[in-house]
């Protein structure tokens, strides 16, 4: 088991600027969204209304670079390998440190990510095709609407993992224990029922093979809030770069509800 | 099974102004807090940080009297039997309708309440002493601090139900399925470990007998956010009157996570 604080310190020193998959993998990793306080109440309400795609792990005090509930030494300005800076919905930079962009009105949101429930699935002996094939998970926009709040809304984005029926049933049980990292699936089987017409053409990530004896199993995905932000086009926003998560001191096991 | 919408309509017409315990009892009931939008972000953050005492079921749009996610016909100004109106932390009125107090900047918060998990415990065959004795549940301030956010903070308040050990274990299992109505207990056994020195003198509600072969079992309680608000002393706030809850269209069973 790698030490989360040690890995964060390497990232903070600029010695790691790539994705965090597999790093300190017993620890919870989080999607990060940083918004001005004027938009924080709408974004909080959006997350409250859409807990499956947007399970909030922590919300910082305005202007405070720390997130003490997830790690006593966290500095949100330096502890992610790479950030994305957005102005009016346009991506303008991908820095490895945002200290020079920090403002007293910024609020940081940390949202649970599927790395935690994937670790639980693997620990339960359930094979994950995209891991076997060394690819990113396949993600799709659905025709399911999120519950909007203020500027924030748009479609639910899901990730898909193909499984045999018995494994799909076990996966429902295993992931139900982890509501703070997307929880149980939102759909199993026929993709067209949720507006997905070609599994071989994901909207994000990589396609994976689905065997004839397998069901596609769909989970709410942390790309949903990112898509909501891109649609909302806030004047200023910072997010993590894809796959470059915040590594927290929480252990995946600590998130289990049962 | 009573119809939630019908019961709400009786309340709306002023034909019921008492507590809601036992009304439409297969339906989820909620604690209600109404605050100006300027305080909403802090209160949302407080609830996010303290999900066991403050499980948010819904947050309204600012100025919108409706709460459509909990019932298409809900009018938050008339659908509670009785309200409490607070100014600067002082209770100034207990009206049965707040239409004349409504403002365009008010946000309504509906928070899960223990009626739902008590129904699940009774359905599982677990006796509840305060129900048997026809009393209110016993509630205590603890020495456990909530995680503060802005103005809101203060101690965790718990409710206590005495149980034999086997029933206490079963109660952990049953209530773990209901994270949105306080979830699993926060403590079992020695009350002094959480700062409670005399079970016969609850801070709220009524004392109940604890038999020699029983353990006191403690759950996070919805009085916690009320105590936080009283301590914060906002310039203006409306809450439900004790026991006079919002009856929603949600069924208790729908809240089960597993």
CATH code, B128 = 3.30.2040.10
**Whether residues A46 and A124 fall in one domain:** no
- Which residues from chain B sit within 8 angstroms of residue A45, using beta carbons? 44, 59
**Whether residues B13 and B37 fall in one domain:** yes
**Whether residues A217 and A138 fall in one domain:** yes
**Whether residues A87 and A178 fall in one domain:** no
Are B23 and B117 in contact by the 8 Å Cβ rule? The answer is no
Token code pair at residue B217: 């079992």
- For residue B217, pLDDT over 70 is answered with yes
Closest Cα to residue B140, out of B241, B29, B220, B51? B220
Using a CB–CB cutoff of 8 Å, tell me whether A227 touches chain B. no
What values do phi and psi take at A49, rounded to 5? -80, -15
pLDDT band, very low/low/confident/very high, at A97 (cuts 50, 70, 90): very high
Can you tell me whether residue B83 is helix, strand or coil? strand
SS3 content of chain B, % helix, strand, coil (to 5): 30, 25, 45
pLDDT band, very low/low/confident/very high, at A25 (cuts 50, 70, 90): confident
- Which residues from chain B sit within 8 angstroms of residue A183, using beta carbons? 257
Token code pair at residue A198: 């070609």
CA dihedral for A238, A49, A69, B38, sign (positive or negative) = positive
Which residues have CB under 8 Å from A114's CB, separation 6+?
A137, A159, A181, A182, A219, A221, A222
Separation CA A67–CA A175 (nearest Å): 26
Complex ipTM value: 0.73
- For residue B114, pLDDT over 80 is answered with yes
Q: What is the DSSP letter of B78?
A: T
Q: What is the mean pLDDT of residues A104-120?
A: 94
**Whether residues B149 and B204 fall in one domain:** yes
Look over chain B and give the mean of its residue pLDDT values, rounded to a whole number.
94
For residue B90, the domain's CATH number is 3.40.1640.10
State the pLDDT at residue A155: 97
Closest Cα to residue B59, out of A54, A153, A149, A154? A149
CB–CB of A179 and B179 under 8 A?
yes
Q: What is the pLDDT of residues A187-204, one digit of tens each?
A: 998 999 999 999 999 999
Percent of the residues in chain A that have a pLDDT greater than 70, as a whole number: 100
3-state secondary structure chain A: CCCHHHHHHHHHCCCCCCCCCCCCCCEEEEEEEEEEHHHHHHHHHHHHHCCCCCCEEEECCCCCCCCCCCCCCCCCCCCCCCEEEEECCEEEECCCCCHHHCCCCEEEEEEECHHHHHHHHHHCCCCCHHHHCCCCCEEEEEEEECCCECCECCEEEEEEEEECHHHHHHHHHHHHCCHHHCCCCCEECCHHHHCCCCCCCCCECCCCCCCCCCEEEEEECCHHHHHHHHHHCCCCEEEECCCCCEEEEEEHHHHCCC
- For residue A18, pLDDT over 90 is answered with no
**Whether residues A99 and A10 fall in one domain:** yes
Interface test with B, best of A42, A173, A177, A258 (most B CBs within 10 A): A258
Percent of the residues in chain A that have a pLDDT greater than 90, as a whole number: 82
**Count of domains observed in chain B:** 2
Task: Give the closest-approach CA distance of A186 to chain B in angstroms.
Answer: 13
Are A39 and A89 in contact by the 8 Å Cβ rule? The answer is no
Q: What is the pLDDT of residues B234-251, one digit of tens each?
A: 999 999 998 899 999 999
Domain carrying residue B127: 115-224
**Whether residues A108 and A64 fall in one domain:** yes
- Which residues from chain B sit within 8 angstroms of residue A61, using beta carbons? 149
- Which residues from chain B sit within 8 angstroms of residue A176, using beta carbons? 257-258
Look over chain A and give the mean of its residue pLDDT values, rounded to a whole number.
94
**Whether residues A41 and A97 fall in one domain:** yes
- Which residues from chain A sit within 8 angstroms of residue B56, using beta carbons? 48
Using a CB–CB cutoff of 8 Å, tell me whether A144 touches chain B. no
B166 or B73, higher pLDDT: B73
Are B247 and B116 in contact by the 8 Å Cβ rule? The answer is no
Compute the residue count for chain B.
Answer: 258
State the pLDDT at residue A1: 57
**Whether residues A57 and A154 fall in one domain:** no
State the pLDDT at residue A242: 85
Are B16 and B4 in contact by the 8 Å Cβ rule? The answer is no
Using a CB–CB cutoff of 8 Å, tell me whether B164 touches chain A. no
Token code pair at residue B167: 């029933």
Separation CA A167–CA B150 (nearest Å): 45
Burial of B107 (0-12, 13-18, 19+ CB in 10 A): buried
State the pLDDT at residue B21: 83
- For residue A42, pLDDT over 70 is answered with yes
Are A114 and A159 in contact by the 8 Å Cβ rule? The answer is yes
State the pLDDT at residue B1: 57
State the pLDDT at residue A158: 96
Which residues have CB under 8 Å from A160's CB, separation 6+?
A137, A138, A139, A140, A191, A199, A202, A208, A216, A217, A218, A219
Are A188 and A80 in contact by the 8 Å Cβ rule? The answer is no
CB–CB of B69 and A147 under 8 A?
yes
Q: What is the mean pLDDT of residues A129-136?
A: 90
Separation CA B220–CA B175 (nearest Å): 11
Separation CA A221–CA B88 (nearest Å): 42
Q: What is the pLDDT of residues B15-36, one digit of tens each?
A: 999 889 888 988 999 999 999 9
Size of interface A-B (CB pairs under 8 A): 51
State the pLDDT at residue A134: 87
H or E segment to which residue B231 belongs:
helix B223-232
Token code pair at residue B79: 């659908």
Using a CB–CB cutoff of 8 Å, tell me whether A56 touches chain B. yes
Separation CA B209–CA B188 (nearest Å): 16
H or E segment to which residue B9 belongs:
helix B4-12
Q: What is the mean pLDDT of residues B169-185?
A: 91
Token code pair at residue A201: 């053409």
State the pLDDT at residue A139: 95
**Whether residues B188 and B250 fall in one domain:** no
**Whether residues B133 and B169 fall in one domain:** yes
3-state secondary structure B149-214: ECCECCEEEEEEEEECHHHHHHHHHHHHCCHHHCCCCCEECCHHHHCCCCCCCCCECCCCCCCCCC
Token code pair at residue A199: 């599994």
**Whether residues A23 and A102 fall in one domain:** yes
Using a CB–CB cutoff of 8 Å, tell me whether A183 touches chain B. yes
Using a CB–CB cutoff of 8 Å, tell me whether B172 touches chain A. no
B21 or B95, higher pLDDT: B95
Q: What is the mean pLDDT of residues B83-103?
A: 96
Which strands, in side-by-side order, build the sheet including A215-220?
Answer: A138-145, A155-163, A215-220, A187-188
């Amino acid at each position: 088991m790698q030490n989360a604080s040690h890995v964060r310190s390497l990232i903070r020193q600029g010695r790691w600027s790539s994705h965090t998959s597999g790093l300190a993998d017993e620890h919870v990793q989080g999607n990060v969204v940083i918004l001005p306080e004027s938009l924080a109440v709408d974004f909080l309400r959006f997350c409250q209304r859409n807990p499956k795609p947007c399970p909030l792990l922590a919300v910082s005090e305005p202007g405070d670079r720390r997130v003490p509930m997830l790690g006593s030494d966290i500095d949100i300005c330096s502890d992610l390998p790479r950030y994305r800076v957005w102005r009016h919905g346009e991506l303008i930079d991908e820095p490895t440190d945002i200290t020079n962009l920090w403002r007293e009105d910024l609020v940081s949101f940390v949202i649970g990510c599927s790395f935690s429930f994937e670790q639980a699935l693997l620990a339960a002996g359930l094979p994950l095709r995209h891991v076997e094939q060394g690819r990113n998970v396949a993600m799709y926009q659905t025709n399911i609407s999120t519950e909007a709040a203020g500027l924030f809304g748009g479609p639910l984005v899901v990730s898909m993992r193909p499984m045999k029926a018995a494994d799909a049933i076990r996966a429902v049980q295993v992931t139900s224990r982890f509501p703070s990292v997307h929880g149980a699936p939102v759909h199993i089987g026929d993709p067209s029922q949720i507006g997905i017409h070609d599994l071989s053409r994901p909207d994000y990530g990589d396609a994976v093979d689905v065997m004839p004896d397998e069901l596609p199993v769909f989970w709410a995905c942390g790309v949903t809030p990112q898509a909501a932000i891109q649609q909302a086009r806030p004047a200023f926003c910072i997010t993590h770069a894809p796959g470059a998560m915040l590594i927290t001191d929480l252990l995946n096991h600590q998130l289990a509800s049962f």
